[in-house]
Structure 1
Amino acid sequence: MRLTLLTFTAAALCLAGPAAVADATSATADAEASAALLQNPRGCGRAGSVLDAAPEGQMVMVPGFGAETWAVDTVKPEAQAWFDHGVRLRWAFEHKEAVRAFRRARAIDPECAMCAWGEAWAIGPNLNGGGTDDASIRAGRQLAQLARRKARGATAVQRQMIDALIERYSGASASQGVRFARAMDRIARRNPDDPMIAATAADAWMLQADQWWDDDGKPADRGIGRAMEILEASLQGAPDDPGTIHLYIHLTEWSDDPHKAIPYGEKLARLAPSASHLVHMPSHTFYRVGRYRDAMRSNVEAVALDRRYDELAAPPGGITGMPLHAHNIHFGMGGALMAGGGEEGLALADAFLATYPDMSSGNPWRQLMANDAYAIYGRFGSPAQVAALAEPPEERPLQRTSWRYGRGEAAARAGDAAAVRAEAEAIKAIRESDAITGDQADKMKLFVEVSQRVLEGRAAMIEGNAEAAVAAFTRAAEIQGMEEEGGDPPIIWFPTRRSLAAAMLARGDAAGAKAKIEELLVDWPMDPYSYFVLAEAEAALGHMAAAETAREKARVEWIGGTMTLKLA
């Protein structure tokens, strides 16, 4: 798994999802959590503790989260149904709802050992970074021990799983994760045809690794290689298991071959049509391989499903209490920007700013996530829509930067170089002020500088000053290139190297522009706007057949309007 110190991927930004997690924390705690996720992003965002899950008696079992069942030690069908629902929710990364479901199963059958196991499992560590606090570990241990005391009616395999879970919560904290992974691995080897056991074992190996992949996409941890073996073997026998597919998408995303997950991602939404996060999950693969339209559409549907779940189940906290809702919107906006999906993108941008109107000064991540919303207004919004955007308060410098950036992009569309430069100067003033503070201030200011330089480049392109445009875009690309680009929608929403290539072409360096585009397409495969610039470069070089091929590729993922070099 890659390190992201600058690109601020969605995995880090999901920390800003629920107000209960982010806005209610102190600025210091927020900064510490943010830094931790930047160093070691997991899954799709930070879930936090789930010990405060709402009373289970009020829970509604919404259908459409899958059809898998795993028989446990109960003779009560309702308890079995709630256990199965808990498992489905856990694999859908609905951690609090999973805890509520397992508690419901335990209330129906207090003697069900595996129902207690399920609650202990759901309370503990997960790929969203939650369940690692002392209180959660203590609660998990108590529940696992309760499961052991009640395990007389459990099968031998189930008793082994209970003992494995006790390993997760006992002894030296530094070795809990790997001991649980090893214990589950032994169970998986003895039960190779059980997808529930396989997924639990693979999940355990993924959790214990500090880094998943090296720079070449090879396993950086032996447990990651083993997790891949487990998942791929399980998918051979159970190719329609949602939990296995979910983990496989995460694990392959930054491997050396993310394409392997495509056939599984393409069917995941059909397997769990009500689970918003599972409907969203294919977009991780789609975006990584350059299927930006599909990434956008997956998340448009996921956002709608969040609203549907809120209507049907009324979970505590509503939409804003859903840890991954902001992630769904942000991912959808990222896909819309890359594909030219103005209509869908504007709807998502409206939803984001309406759902999260209050972005505390102590939480920079939600302000950064808003960048895609303002970029969408700038790239696709009407003059009236752009003019209607309220100016963020001064204590939110990152959001103010994004607001000005969006206005600058809109001015660039209108061909108003002076207005574009005015927004760039205002952003420069924010960067040079003391408004951005904290441990991550230097990195945040680099993000602000990218917005400034992109607008300076846009203005220079409108003015016909290709040299100045090359200089501005070179600096933007230099900053963006400090870390790995592409995938998992980064806050710098597009490859600034394509703007640089367009400026190089305007300067008369068609060969250099072509080389720059071919270089960036490795990180941003199938970027339609980059293929447009490539087509123009090939035409300038007299390569007419190659130019037409590039134009055809540009049309594959682009659903927007006319492309121009000035807005590349």
Structure 2
Amino acid sequence: MTGFLRVLAVSLLVVSAARAQEMHDHGIPEKLGKVSFPISCDPSVQKPFDRGVALLHSFAYAAAGQAFEGVVAKDPACAMGHWGIAMVFFHPVWTPALPADTFARGQAEARAAARLAATSSPRERTYIQALGRLYQGGDVKPAQRTLAYEQAMAGVARDNPKDVEAQVFYAVALLSNASMTDKTHAKQKQAIAILDPLFRAHPDHPGIAHYLIHACDSAELAQRGLPAARKYADIAPSAPHALHMPSHIFTRLGLWDDSIHSNLASEKAAREHGDTMGQLHAMDYLVYAYMQSGRDKEARAVIGDLKTMRGLDMSDFGIAYAATAMPIREIVEQGRWNEAATIAPPDGAPASVVAIAVWAKGLGLARSGHPDEARAEAARLDQIEAQLKTSGDDYWSTQTGVLASEVKAWAAQASGDAAAAVALMTDAAEREDRVEKRPVTPGPIVPAREQLGELLLAQKQPGPALAAFKTALTQAPGRAGALRGEKAAEAMR
């Protein structure tokens, strides 16, 4: 996960900088949205500073860093210029939020801002003081830093109720501490309560729309994020991340044509600028959307494009995840179990990605009548789960444990132990239900709850199967497999 997010940050800002340069070269005005963040530095740096904040809000971190460095070059005494540079190294809705390899640089810039703060306005000093909590010295865990920053930004927002940026940065600080296991979405709802009225008042602000999408990226809240998803790409088309991000909401709502449109644009932009990770990320979302809308030929075409890509760095999580998941999605969704049984783990990929290939092979073996061989793959998944847990990767260890239970369930079904199969798959579904998905993926290859419906159908239990499919569709509307299963269960009753 760490590698993916770090590369995503770098690639997005490189693409954004290239896109901005391309637009300048061709005389096309850059469009990043409207941001107004008054500072007390030399008046000549106000517009460049606002541009830097707009880029920051669209996660164009490298380009934002260049903008803030330009501010400091023109006005060396501008404390907020250093604040901006330090903020570039804080990635609030990703993991890790404070990448270890850039933390020292961010801390140095935060300290530079603090040294220069005496000549800043009282309002600016509160931003700098909050930043200091994020980059405080000592042996402080990252989660403690982001929580301290959130608490400090709560004070900034409270004391400056008419300062739009104070409210926006507080909202995204809340999101930085949202737990993947909190199904009440408490932090997200706090952020939405701040951002919703701001979106109505400032419909062209890039951060408001962007963070609303992140706050609403769950089955419960996705509908509330739809207006922002419809708007964000038009607000900041010069920031490639704005082309992809709306598809997070479209995917949650089963709006496949919208997701396809969004990711075609994102894939094209990434490909044109050599952003391999961004290209693959959009392609994975494309394959998912094509499969759910019955456009299997288009999905295979995207996978064909993947196969022509050479020199992929499979040690990078984001690249490895998308490159591994795409063909597996198509094989498993099509139920080509003999083919699934031959899938080999990708060489050099992170353990959490290897697990997906092991799962697919185990599933293929179990569902093509080879339960003992499937159990061997499940045992490999147990080992990967333990490895991830030991390394401290609780999220992906949990997900790998779910995959292991799914393979064990289908192996039990193939061995004729129907009760054990249902118990194992029910456990997998309940565990998967307790955690949210990461932004790296449009969703599980096949949700456990949907597989539970398939299993119950195979056991000629249409009533319980129908209930499982209906629940699966509330969590992931429009999924083709669950819709087919629902129809089959109704016909069997």
Q: Give the TM-score normalised by structure 2.
A: 0.74
1:391 to 1:166, Cα distance in 2 relative to 1, 3 A: closer
**1:248-259 equivalences in 2 (<5 Å):** 248-254=212-218, 256-259=220-223
1:148 to 1:136, Cα distance in 2 relative to 1, 3 A: same
Aligned mates of 1:494, 1:400 — CA distance in 2: 17
**1:353-502 equivalences in 2 (<5 Å):** 354=309, 357-360=312-315, 367=320, 369-378=322-331, 420-421=368-369, 428-432=375-379, 439-440=387-388, 444=400, 447=403, 450=406, 475-476=424-425, 478-484=427-433, 489=441, 492-502=444-454
1:333 corresponds to 2:287: yes
| 1:435-470: CA deviation from partner (whole Å, max 9, x where unpaired) | 95562277647525635866997xx7xxxx9x6789
1:392 to 1:515, Cα distance in 2 relative to 1, 3 A: closer
Aligned mates of 1:292, 1:446 — CA distance in 2: 26
Aligned mates of 1:429, 1:370 — CA distance in 2: 24
Structure 1, unaligned runs of 5 or more: 1-12, 23-44, 311-317, 542-568
Structure in which a larger fraction of residues adopt helix: 2
**1:77-476 equivalences in 2 (<5 Å):** 79-124=45-90, 126-128=92-94, 129-131=96-98, 133=100, 134-148=103-117, 151=119, 155-170=121-136, 173=140, 177-207=146-176, 209=177, 211=179, 214-215=182-183, 217-219=184-186, 226-254=190-218, 256-308=220-272, 310=273, 318-320=274-276, 326-350=280-304, 354=309, 357-360=312-315, 367=320, 369-378=322-331, 420-421=368-369, 428-432=375-379, 439-440=387-388, 444=400, 447=403, 450=406, 475-476=424-425
The offset of 1:512, in angstroms, is 2.8
On the 8 A contact 2:226/2:249 being kept in 1, the answer is yes
Residue type at the aligned position of 1:211: S
2:472 paired residue among 502, 511, 520: 520
- Percent identity reads 23
Corresponding residue number in structure 1 for 2:393: none
2:4 paired residue among 10, 17, 22: 17
The offset of 1:245, in angstroms, is 1.6
1:80 to 1:60, Cα distance in 2 relative to 1, 3 A: farther
Say which SS state the counterpart of residue 475 (structure 2) adopts: coil
The offset of 1:350, in angstroms, is 4.4
Aligned mates of 2:190, 2:455 — CA distance in 1: 47
The offset of 1:273, in angstroms, is 1.6
On the 8 A contact 2:314/2:348 being kept in 1, the answer is no
On the 8 A contact 2:359/2:377 being kept in 1, the answer is no
Residue type at the aligned position of 2:50: D
Root-mean-square deviation (CA), in Å?
4.6
The offset of 1:120, in angstroms, is 2.5
| 1:29-79: CA deviation from partner (whole Å, max 9, x where unpaired) | xxxxxxxxxxxxxxxx7x59x9x999x9999485233243434445565x4
Residue type at the aligned position of 2:111: Q
| 1:464-518: CA deviation from partner (whole Å, max 9, x where unpaired) | x9x6789767644543432227755466312344344345445543323322222
On the 8 A contact 2:432/2:448 being kept in 1, the answer is no
| 1:67-120: CA deviation from partner (whole Å, max 9, x where unpaired) | 43434445565x444323321221112223321221123223434443232112
On the 8 A contact 1:401/1:427 being kept in 2, the answer is no
Aligned mates of 1:101, 1:487 — CA distance in 2: 33
Corresponding residue number in structure 2 for 1:33: none
Say which SS state the counterpart of residue 32 (structure 2) adopts: coil
Aligned mates of 2:190, 2:381 — CA distance in 1: 48
Q: How many residues get paired? A: 462
Corresponding residue number in structure 1 for 2:27: none
1:507 to 1:274, Cα distance in 2 relative to 1, 3 A: same
Aligned mates of 1:469, 1:286 — CA distance in 2: 37
Aligned mates of 1:280, 1:193 — CA distance in 2: 31
Higher relative contact order at CA 8 Å, sep ≥6: structure 1 or structure 2?
Answer: 1
1:64 paired residue among 22, 25, 31: 31
